Amino acid sequence: MIRIIKATDSSMTVNFTKDSAVFDITGYTLFFTVKKPADAEKGSDDDAIIKKTVTTHTDPTAGISTITLSNSDTNIDAGNYLWDIKLLKETIVSATYSDYLEIVQNITVRKA
């Protein structure tokens, strides 16, 4: 599970492996999608709460990429969501990972 405080910047480094070996992601596009559980089964990403596309990876030959979320990306209702990552090269989906994302209400609101 990923836990993020509402309306904060966040980044996630992802390490791709295949059969316990590094998976070279050179030339791959990474899709990170977050949806409400009720929308997860829909055959479209139109209802996605967060959609990120990453084409420039941190270290592609080592299978490392970073997903960066801005405070506006995470400024959504506190609660539990579903996320997944797909890697696509041309028309072949090479990896799929999924889990839960929890957006936690920001408690402190004072600015000074």
Unique residue bearing structure tokens 């696509």: 88
- Model confidence over 11-62: pLDDT tens digits? 999 999 989 999 999 999 999 999 999 998 887 899 999 999 999 999 999 9
Domain boundary assignment for the chain? 2-104
Q: What is the mean pLDDT of residues 75-81?
A: 97
Largest Cα separation within the chain, whole Å, is 51
CB 82 within 8 A of CB 98: yes
CB 12 within 8 A of CB 97: no
Give the global pTM.
Answer: 0.90
For β-strands 50-54 and 17-18, DSSP reports them as unpaired
CATH class name, domain 2-104? mainly beta
Q: pLDDT category, 109, cuts 50, 70, 90?
A: confident
Residue 97 to residue 112: CA distance in whole angstroms: 40
